[in-house]
């Protein structure tokens, strides 16, 4: 059972906009920033969004992040076939002397 809750799956057709949610609590998302990672099949994760809504250099602006209270969302607009991957949210958690926590991951399928 992951500390951060994500839907196990999401899907969309090319060109569509999809969102992936991440729900936490006051000790993690509620008091710290949220980060998102993309893991393409057979590869290491890659940073997609940091500090709630910041994109690293090289990440297309089709990807955007937001946070409200104890929840966060990743939005992907203009969905492309190469976006098919697993997506994870992560945040620092202030409980238990401090720890990092991940969501369980969302598998995005491009139909």
Partner 1 sequence: EVQLVESGGVVVQPGGSLRLSCAASGFTFDDYAMHWVRQAPGKGLEWVSLISWDGGSTYYADSVKGRFTISRDNSKNSLYLQMNSLRAEDTALYYCAKDANYGSGSYVDYWGQGTLVTVSS
Return residues touching partner 1 (CB under 8 A).
2, 32-33, 35, 37, 39, 44-47, 50-51, 56, 86, 88, 90, 92, 96-105
Supply the minimum distance, in Å, between the C-beta of residue 53 and partner 1. Answer: 13
What Cα–Cα distance (Å) separates residue 26 from each residue in 30, 86, 90? 4, 25, 14
85 Cβ partners below 8 Å, 6+ apart?
38, 39, 40, 41, 107, 108
Supply the minimum distance, in Å, between the C-beta of residue 37 and partner 1. Answer: 7
Cβ proximity to partner 1: between 63 and 92 the closer is: 92
Give the three-state DSSP class for 100. strand
Supply the minimum distance, in Å, between the C-beta of residue 69 and partner 1. Answer: 18
């Amino acid at each position: 059972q992951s500390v951060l809750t994500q839907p196990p799956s999401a899907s969309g057709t090319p060109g569509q906009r999809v969102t992936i949610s991440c729900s936490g609590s006051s000790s993690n998302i509620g008091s710290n920033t949220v980060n998102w990672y993309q893991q393409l099949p057979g590869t290491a994760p890659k940073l997609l969004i940091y500090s709630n809504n910041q994109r690293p250099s090289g990440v297309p602006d089709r990807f955007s992040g937001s946070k409200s209270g104890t929840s966060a969302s990743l939005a992907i607009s203009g969905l492309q076939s190469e976006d098919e991957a697993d997506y994870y949210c992560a945040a620092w958690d202030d409980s238990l002397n401090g720890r990092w926590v991940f969501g369980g991951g969302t598998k995005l399928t491009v139909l």
